[in-house]
Structure 1
Amino acid sequence: MTERDGVVVSTDEDRGSTELLPATRRELWRRLAVGQTEGRAPSMVGAVVRDGRPAWLGLRGTVDGAMPHADMQYRIGSLTKTFVAVLVMRLRDEGLLELADPVGEHLKDTPVPDATVAQLLAHSAGLAAEARGPWWERTPGRLRPGPADIFGERPRRHPAGRRYHYSNPGYALLGALVERLRDGEHWAEVLRREVLEPLEMTRTTPDPVAPHAAGWAVHPWADVLLPEPAEDTGLMAPAGQLWSTASDLCRWAAFLAEGDDRVLSAATVAEMRTPAVPAEGDGSMGYGLGLQLLRTDDGRVLAGHTGSMPGFLASLWVGTDTRTDDGVGGLALANCTSGPAVSGIAADLVRIVAERELSVPAPWRPLAGPLDEELLALTGPWYWGASPFVLRLRADRELELSPVSGGGRSSRFRPEPDGSWTGLDGYYAGETLRAVRAGDGSVSHLDLGTFVFTRAPYEPSAPVPGGVDAGGWRTEG
């Protein structure tokens, strides 16, 4: 905001401001404080991201007698899986694998060669939840020196593709897949070079680098602490090894909300946020491709992940609907094995900002670049039978089809090199839209996944499936 002649004036510059109102900051701080106190966490760090930038940081408790800070490392547990999933999606986008590939095509001697890459990403391969042997999170990785040592005699507990069943060993296989397709380079080194460095996440590492918090167990019936081990989990590391900071995870939240062409396009990140398996239990938690999906009590859908390792809890969520959540993300980190509900805390941080500070739309501007007159001519009313729709031209030659009124099937469409468009969302996601031309070159109709859209309701001259009654429209039935 600026002041002109004694009057405070709002401008478009205010839309990009990450500054939160004092009342919002107070409520965020209270939510973190209540969570740390009631959860009896030695320390807790919370943060909010808005419009791709940090908007709020909360610090609570102590680490080695001092207050934690934004650059303090905490172990983030299964948030590691989101990083591994990004590496796998990069391989897919480079054409080195397909999500439908059986992992056995790339990895030899795996006990589940028929599990597909997509099933591993979405925990739908039916694999065992945990690695064989003693509790892998509290024991050294050398106890499982080879891939065969990760799985027991029953590597699969459910039929592949039938249901969601969380599997830590499944992500061990994905880490091995990354190493195999990156010529044997360790997955953590690939992550550093391809993801962390471009995003300037210099404090995210496989092993702790000072300053970092120590992990503790808190006695359930007394306010006393017990140190927890911090083992290198070896081949299981892709399931939960990483350490990170609030500052770095703010960058990660912004990436999961918007993508970054240096790492993954916005379209691929959106694909990761798309549900890949049905939710189970109460239906509030689903899974995409490497991302957990949370439906909150107020109907908001968040994407991110929770994480836990001995002595640590972590959670990061970003709003998936930029129209209502404005790219808001929240995260919470604590250095205790159990107690504080960090998943709920991180989700509440998103809710508080999204509800208290409603998103401001971007200013309207005309399309950039030269106008394609033929494309402009496609816009306007179209009819599916007698149902009116409107086709609008958006930026970058994208089209948007929506019903004129009431409910109906709406979708956005991305242009393709062959002159067609591909659906991006809604019922027509993945379907092909074509403008079909008559012999004289004029557009006869639109073909959308075999549905015919005409310029007039049941236009007789168009190839309407089943034909149009020769008698035409009439006044009596």
Structure 2
Amino acid sequence: MTSPFEELLPGTRRALLHRVATAQAEGRAPSLVGAVGRDGHTVWSGARSCVDGHEPDADTQYRIGSITKCFTAVLVLRLRDEGLLDLADPLEKHLPGTGVGEVTVAQLLSHGAGLAAETPAPWWERTPGTTRPGLADVLGERPLLHPAGRLHHYSNPGYTLLGSLVEAVRGASWEEVLRREILEPLSMRRTTVEPVAPAAGGWAVHPWADAILPEPSEDLGLMAPAGQLWSTADDLCRFGAFLAEGDDRVLSAASVREARTPATPPEGGEWDGGYGLGLQLVRHGGRTLVGHTGSLPGFVAALWVSVEDGLVAVSLANATSGPAVGAVAAELLGIVADAEPRIPEPWRPLPEVDQELLSLTGPWYWGAAPFVLRVTADRGLDFRPMRAAGRRSRFVAQPDGTWKGLDGYYAGETLRVVRRPDGGVSHLDLGSFVYTREPYEPGDAVPGGVDEQGWRGL
């Protein structure tokens, strides 16, 4: 719902409505809904329809297709966080007998398992799930097309396997686990596996004439974890806020951040996007967006999140093809971010200062290259080049007194504070790289030593 304290400016609202209206008209969609969320609330929604007086709203259900994969990925990450599986586990360990059991859970999540993109014929999106009663029917005789772990190759059957994995480990249906572990905690009451009124009907639009044709709506059966769900703009804004911040009732902020991190290299030269663990990543208008697009016969959908801007945008249409909802959602987000940028929280000093951490802050040198170490508000460390772009990473404290890299070049690497016999700090060891308080100071722990004559002129 829209909060009166977060009302967008009239000019921003008009620009958003104009974008939605243009997308519906130029994309020739029977209807199109757009919405923007900020800080967990839907702050704007708008729609256009070909039927006067029957415009949908942010509570109208549309089929969201592959956005469903984000939900399945969250269920798998919950299993990992509970210690019930490891992302490096082969599928066979938990779901034996598939014939592709050596691919890992992580490879399935990131579409790096080498599986085929689609099921064997007939087209699974337009046929009942009963056509494929078992996993063998989903995978076919040649399920693996590429060596596992070598490249990103999008696979719908891969998410059927992940849904079956969830069912095997939980001992309950994917639908039941989804409702209990995600939809209910996040109050997503209008997200369901079958449409619940008010819901849009799916249509195909003739490519060369302004004529429409109803599309079938099938229960996808085993393929449900890849694309079954129906949802609303309001519910997806709520889910987008979760993808930005996490929610300990569902998945921690650290695990959500992991899901947003690129997991496999993009195909070919397409370096403007990538894929994490169940989440697409794109660059648009200078921003990094995470989320997913989706399509099924009669519907296209998009959900994008800008963590930096604290914004979520959704675009939903009931046409098989035509409206570029992925671009529409990205542009809706950009309109708000540019016109009404996020107002930062006030700076506040830490409630208490750790003197030992404070003593580590300031400049450090890798050879002659200056770096700076800062303490973050969450008592972590931020380490970055002082003068130019380079290897920046954030670190979190570990129980043994070391620090673990969270992102960037040093993600997962260990930072150690090395002390002299008298207890004073000698240097920092970061993945075997030595950082000293002075550049090539004689007597410092510089690998290979320092020339005895020290710095000199030519």
Picking from 287, 305, 308, the partner of 2:295 is: 308
**Aligned residue identity for 1:468:** V
Q: Which residue of 1 aligns with 2:176?
A: 189
Shift of 1:378: 1.4
- The answer to whether 1:132 aligns with 2:115 is no
Q: Secondary structure at the match of 2:238?
A: helix
CA drift at 1:309: 0.8
Residue 439 (structure 1) aligned to one of 416, 421, 431: 421
Q: Which amino acid aligns with 2:357?
A: L
Worse overlay, 424-433 or 120-129: 424-433
Letter in 1 for 2:184: E
Where in structure 2 are the equivalents of 1:71-470 lying within 5 Å?
Answer: 71-183=59-171, 185-281=172-268, 283=270, 284-296=272-284, 298-320=285-307, 322=308, 326-368=309-351, 370-470=352-452
Tell me, yes or no, if the aligned pair for 1:383 and 1:456 is still in contact at 8 Å.
yes
My pick for the range that moved more, 240-249 or 90-99, is: 90-99
Structure 2: how far apart are the matches of 1:256 and 1:205? 19
* Amino acid across the alignment from 1:204: T
Q: In the TM superposition, what is the alpha-carbon distance from 1:114 to its structure 2 partner? A: 1.1
Same amino acid, percent of matched pairs: 67
Report the RMSD for the aligned CA atoms in angstroms.
1.7
- Cα deviation code 1:86-139 (max 9, x no counterpart): 111111111111111111111111121111111111111111111123111111
Q: Paired residue for 1:473?
A: 455
Aligned structure 1 segments of 4 or more residues deviating by more than 6 angstroms: none
Moved more, 218-227 or 229-238: 218-227
Letter in 2 for 1:49: G
SS of the aligned residue for 2:70 comes to helix
Secondary structure (helix, strand or coil) at the match of 1:378 reads coil
Q: 1:12 corresponds to which residue?
A: none
Q: Deviations over 1:430-466 (max 9, x none)?
A: 2111111111111111111111111222233332111
Match of 1:13 in 2: none
Question: CA contact under 8 A between 1:18 and 1:54: conserved in structure 2?
Answer: no
Match of 1:46, SS state, is strand
Q: Is the 8 A contact 1:258 1:327 kept in 2?
A: no
Q: Structure 1 CA distance, aligned partners of 2:267 and 2:333? A: 24
Distance (whole Å) between structure 2 residues aligned to residue 18 and residue 102 of structure 1: 47
CA shift in 2, pair 1:237/1:63, >3 Å: farther
Contact 1:381 1:455 in 2 (8 A): yes
Counterpart of 1:134 in 2: which secondary structure? Answer: coil
Q: Is the 8 A contact 1:279 1:287 kept in 2?
A: yes
| Cα offset, 1:276, TM superposition | 1.3
**Does the Cα contact within 8 Å between 1:172 and 1:237 map onto a contact in 2?**
yes
Q: What secondary structure does 2:6 align onto?
A: coil
Question: CA shift at 1:62, angstroms?
Answer: 5.7
Which position in structure 1 is the counterpart of 2:8? 20
For 1:129 and 1:135, locate their aligned partners in 2 and report how far apart those are by CA, in whole Å: 12
Separation of aligned partners in 2, 1:281 and 1:409: 25
Provide the TM-score with structure 2 as the length reference.
Answer: 0.95
The answer for unaligned runs of 5 or more in structure 2 is none
Shifted more, 37-46 versus 274-283: the winner is 274-283
Once the 2 structures are TM-superposed, how far is the Cα of residue 64 of structure 1 from its aligned partner?
10
User: How far has the Cα of 1:248 moved from its partner?
Assistant: 0.4
Aligned length: 454
Cα displacement string for residues 218-255 of structure 1 (whole angstroms, at most 9, x for unaligned residues): 22222222211111110011110000011101101111
Equivalent-residue separation in structure 2 for 1:348 and 1:337 (angstroms): 21
* Unpaired segments ≥5 residues, structure 1: 1-15
Contact persistence 2:310–2:342 (CA under 8 A)? no
TM-score, normalised with respect to structure 1: 0.92
